[in-house]
A and B are shown apart, each in its own frame.
Chain A
Amino acid sequence: MSTSTPTAHRPEAPVPGPAGPGRAPARPRLSFGGVLGSEWIKFRSLRSHWILLGVSLVLTLGFAALGAWSTLTVIDMNEQAARDAVEQSLDGRSPEELGLTEEQVQQRQDELVAQSERDMAEASELSLPDGMGFGEYLAMASANGGLELVVLLVGALAVLTIGSEYSTGSIRTTMTAVPRRTPVLVAKALVLSGVTFLFGVLGAFLCHLLVQPILAAEDLGYDVWREAVLLNVLAVGLFYMITAWLGFGLGALLKSTVAGVVVLVVVLFVLRIVLFALNFEWLDDVKPYAPAEAGLGLTTMYQASDAVLDHVQSGLVYGAWGLLLVLVGVLVTRRRAL
């Protein structure tokens, strides 16, 4: 019989546990907490998820460093221009000949730099706080240099978590264990929310720390604990989290990682370019409500002085888009044949 086979199941073996009542310590019971734990196990047990997050982190930090260096260049050019202007006004004479002290020359140069920064700030139409130079703004904003690229990777991660369930067929196992289906999607969305929010906050804060030594070369370092920075770090976390909702909703709707990522790119990039190209005045009040614009409105350090939506409103609009897509994904998934 089967006794010689190492894997064989012998009929007399005490196999699958309690057929009768009351032996098991706790009866198994499907619970939302359990489903949440299950989705967390599923998220962390795939190496590809961690690779994607790792690559995203490297890109985030890399782009922040690049942003910081290009800020240095801008500032450098600005100061060079001011020095040239002072040189020119001296017209080859030494300051002493004109009865000027070194301090006065330096002061003139600083004034020119400040003037140019004010001009740039004005041209940017940003509502910077009083007393903040444009260089300082550039320095702070440089930390978010990789935001628009990395958000796509984060979105793709979200699409992947549900798209791969369909491509591998594991969705059938998953939904057989949780036949109501909705808890699975909600749990998945929550796990993704936690991961992407933490990733965003951690990544953004690390970026602010990383750019300090680079910016110090031009004395452009800033306090990473100031409110504007901390709020922005929070905003980046929310931005990633809501983008994950968008990606997750699209993935659930389209049952495919590739299709989901393509549509996500369309929503976040193409749509924005199209809207930008459509230069109708009546559109100006509508554009900020588009997903990509709202996302940008949430994460920008300082908003344009004529912004239709402030940070919080932008965040709410973006969040509403994300929730809408998750909702559509849930409703469609509940009905479909798997």
Chain B
Amino acid sequence: MIEIENLTKTYGDRTAVDDVSFTVRPGRVTGFLGPNGAGKSTTMRLVVGLESATRGHTRVNGRPYAEHRAPLAEVGVLLDAKAVHPKRTARAHLGALAATHGIPRSRVQEVVDLTGLGAAADKRVGGYSLGMGQRLGIAAALLGDPQTVILDEPVNGLDPEGVVWVRHLARHLAGEGRTVFLSSHLMSEMAQTADHLVVIGRGRILADAPIDRILAGGRTRTRVRTTDRDGLRLALRGAGAEIAPFDADGAVVTGPEPRRIAEAALAAGVLLYELTPLTETLEDVYMAMTQNEVEYRSGAGAGPAPADPAPWARTAAPNGDRA
């Protein structure tokens, strides 16, 4: 369990994390999603005390991280796989970490086997590929058999097989009742791994909801073409539809299901000659949510049309669903 309350971190006049509150619960995989520079890593660094918060608190398993008697056994962290001396072997690195907590040598071997480091464990870390480095970082995170696991961009640099492996690992750990908190800037990755999403953009929480609710929250949109846009507008009155015209004869109808649109058109004698459901993927939702929050936007297209504020998109209320 990770509890974050009104967490704020400013660097000079730049606010990296802006009054963030959310809870990461055990037994499920929580994805921490946001564009680069949105404040994901800063939030995670604040949780384990590598930086001190300007305001607010974080607690892990009921206490501030630094107050635990065995921090490694409470929280396993992978923040930066490169945070290893390149001239040390993986075994020495893990051994030194284990020694601080009196974790037995056998456990070092266990995590070496578990993460597939194998024979490379006795080689110097400097020669590792990005993927091997990532595996070592995950090995270090699991060393203390922690109840809570925090992994910052864990699939970064992993080959497809490694990506699948991390996905399984995360699910398995959550299945054991552990708290699993993964960050990523890749929506597709999160869609396959996470049960719950916390979306952050420019230091603020944009959404905090189960992944299916985030998907369902996107309202149905349908592209129609008709000879009589005004007639259609009239026909759909009272159906809670929003109609955005385009071209000479097109419109995007947001709200009602395609079938409902067709029925209304038929009843009103309006001819429709296109009726295309616009499927909203998690990717679309995410892009819509974060498009104003990307710090360094590429000049290219601004992505799909912005959706209305969806029911799950939070404006202010922190974590209303907390028990």
Task: Identify the A interface with B (CB < 8 A).
Answer: 2, 5-11, 15-19, 24-31, 34-35, 37-39, 41-42, 45-48, 164-165, 168-173, 175-180, 335, 337-338
- What residue of chain A has the Cβ atom nearest to residue B172's Cβ? A11
Does residue B271 face the partner (Cβ distance < 8 Å to A)?
no
Q: Report whether B70 and A29 are in contact in the complex, using a CB–CB cutoff of 8 Å.
A: yes
CB neighbours (8 Å) of A10 from chain B are 168
**Contact yes or no, A169 B168, CB < 8 A:** no
The A-contacting residues of B in range 174-207, CB under 8 angstroms, are 175-178
Contacts of B99 in A (CB 8 A): 34-35, 37-38, 41
Kindly state the separation between the CA atoms of A338 and B115 in the bound complex, as whole angstroms.
Answer: 27
Q: List residues 83-114 of chain B with CB under 8 A from any CB of chain A.
A: 83-89, 92-93, 95-97, 99-104, 107, 110-111, 114
A25-B95 Cα distance, complex, nearest whole Å:
18
In angstroms, Cα B84 to Cα A169, docked, is 6
Asked if residues A177 and B72 are in contact (CB atoms below 8 Å), the reply is yes
Q: A28-B101, A170-B84 are in contact. Are A177 and B145 (CB under 8 A)?
A: no
Residue ID in chain A nearest B126 by CB atoms: A168
Q: Is the CB of A38 within 8 A of B96?
A: yes
Evaluate contact between B103 and A45: CB separation under 8 angstroms.
Answer: no
> In the complex, which residues of chain A have a beta carbon less than 8 angstroms from the beta carbon of B103?
28
Contact B77 A26 (CB under 8 A): no
B45-81: CB near A (< 8 Å → 1, else 0) gives 1001111100000000000011011111100010110
Across-interface contacts of A7 in B (CB, < 8 A)? 115-116, 118, 135, 161-162, 165
B264 within 8 Å of A (CB atoms)? no
A-B contact pairs, 22 of them (CB 8 A): A2-B168, A7-B115, A7-B161, A7-B165, A11-B168, A11-B172, A15-B114, A16-B176, A25-B104, A28-B144, A29-B69, A30-B68, A34-B99, A34-B102, A35-B99, A38-B99, A46-B87, A46-B88, A165-B85, A170-B93, A172-B79, A179-B65
Chain B interface extent, by class: 35 or more
Q: Which residue on chain B has the smallest CB distance to residue A337?
A: B51
The complex places the Cα of A60 from the Cα of B166 at a distance, in Å, of 52
Residue of B nearest to A175 (CB): B50
A28 touches B102 (CB 8 A): yes
A166 shortest CB reach to chain B, Å: 11
Cα(A9)–Cα(B166), bound, Å: 8
By the criterion CB–CB under 8 Å, are A8 and B95 in contact?
Answer: no
Binding site for A on B (CB under 8 A): 45, 48-52, 65-66, 68-73, 77, 79-80, 82-89, 92-93, 95-97, 99-104, 107, 110-111, 114-116, 118, 135, 140, 142, 144-145, 147, 161-162, 164-165, 168-169, 171-173, 175-178
Is B52 a contact partner of A337 (Cβ separation < 8 A)?
yes
Q: Which residue, of B51, B68, B111, B145, has the highest number of chain A Cβ atoms within 10 A?
A: B145
| Residues on the B chain within 8 Å of A46, using CB | 85, 87-88
Across the interface, do A170 and B145 meet the contact criterion of CB distance under 8 Å? no
B-chain residues with CB within 8 Å of residue A30 when the two chains form the complex: 68-72, 100-101
A47 to B169, CA, bound (A): 35
Q: Which residues of A contact B162 (CB under 8 A)?
A: 7
* A8 vs chain B, min Cβ distance (A): 5
Minimum CB–CB distance from B253 to chain A (whole Å) comes to: 42
B80 cross-chain contacts in A, Cβ below 8 A:
169, 172
Residues of A within 8 A of B178 (CB): 19
- Where chain A touches its partner, the secondary structure class is loop
Known: A16-B145, A337-B50. A173 touches B140 (CB 8 A): yes
Q: CA of A38 to CA of B108 in the docked complex: distance in angstroms?
A: 14
Contact check, A17 vs B165: say whether CB atoms are below 8 A apart: no
State how many angstroms separate the Cβ of A37 from the closest Cβ of chain B.
4
Least CB distance, B159 to chain A, in whole angstroms: 10
A45, B145: Cβ atoms under 8 Å? no
CA distance A208 to B197 in the complex (A): 70
Q: A41–B92 contact, CB under 8 A?
A: yes
Chain B residues whose CB sits within 8 angstroms of the CB of A175 once the complex forms: 49-50
Q: How far is the CA of A24 from the CA of B66 in the complex (A)?
A: 23
Could you say which residues of chain A place their CB within 8 Å of the CB of B88? 42, 45-46
CA distance A289 to B68 in the complex (A): 43
| Besides A45-B92, A46-B88, 6 other A-B contacts (C-beta < 8 A) | A11-B171, A28-B144, A35-B100, A42-B96, A168-B86, A169-B84
Q: From residue B267, how far is it (CB to closest CB) to chain A in Å?
A: 51
Q: Are A11 and B175 in contact (CB under 8 A)?
A: yes
State which of A8, A37, A47 has its C-beta within 8 Å of the C-beta of B168: A8
CA distance A39 to B96 in the complex (A): 7
A176 touches B102 (CB 8 A): no
Contact A9 B101 (CB under 8 A): no
For A335, give the chain B residue with the smallest CB separation: B52
B73: chain A residues at CB < 8 Å are 27-28
In the bound assembly, the distance between CA atoms of A34 and B103 in angstroms comes to: 9
Tell me the complex Cα distance, A39–B168, Å. 34
Would B145 and A338 count as touching, CB distance under 8 A? no
Can you name the residue of chain A whose Cβ is closest to the Cβ of B147? A19
A338–B50 Cα distance when bound, in Å, is 5
Q: Are A8 and B164 in contact (CB under 8 A)?
A: yes
A180 to B110, CA, bound (A): 27
Distance between A45 CB and nearest chain B CB, rounded to angstroms: 4
* Residues B72 and A28 in contact, CB atoms below 8 Å apart: yes
State A291–B206 Cα separation when bound (angstroms).
57
Cα distance A28–B51 in the bound complex, in angstroms: 25
- Check A5 against B83 for contact (C-beta < 8 Å): no
Q: Is the CB of A176 within 8 A of B100?
A: no
CB contacts (< 8 Å) of A42 on chain B: these are 85, 88, 92, 96
A16 to B140, CA, bound (A): 12
Q: Once the chains bind, are A2 and B100 in contact (CB under 8 Å)?
A: no
Most chain A CB neighbours (cut-off 10 Å) among B100, B173, B177: B100
Q: In the complex the two chains form, is B101's CB within 8 Å of A17's CB?
A: no
Which of A2, A15, A26 contacts B102, CB < 8 Å?
A: A26
